Amino acid sequence: MKIIIGLIILAILFAVGITLGTQNDQLVQVNYLLAQGEYRLSSLLAVIFIAGFVIGWLVFSVVLLRLKMNNKGLHKKVERQQKELTELRALPIKD
């Protein structure tokens, strides 16, 4: 279900991008740090959207990987503590 909702949202964003692209065929001048160029506004919007999507996906992947590694470490710690607790419960009570 989450995948379907995500695909629907992506399709809507794609449709909005196409709509903006067809309506914005003007040339704009972009000044870089060391150079400048003149590009169609629709192409510029598409490139910036894709770059933002890729950068966001990379940041999300790094955070997700870090959380998964942390989660795996915590699971190992819990298993170790469960084993120790089981061993302690098996010991006879001393007065």
Q: How confident is the model over 23-81, as pLDDT tens digits?
A: 777 898 989 888 899 988 878 877 888 899 899 989 999 999 999 999 999 999 999 99
Predicted confidence (pLDDT) at residue 20 exceeds the cutoff of 80: no
The mean pLDDT value for 79-86 works out to 95
User: Structural domain of residue 28, as residue ranges?
Assistant: 2-90
Question: Would residue 86 count as lying in a domain?
Answer: yes
Position 42 scores a pLDDT of: 79
Say if 95 falls within a structural domain.
Answer: no
DSSP 92: P
Confirm whether 82 is domain-assigned: yes
- Whether the CB-CB separation of 24 and 15 falls below 8 Å is answered with no
Number of domains in the chain: 1
Is residue 11 assigned to a domain? yes
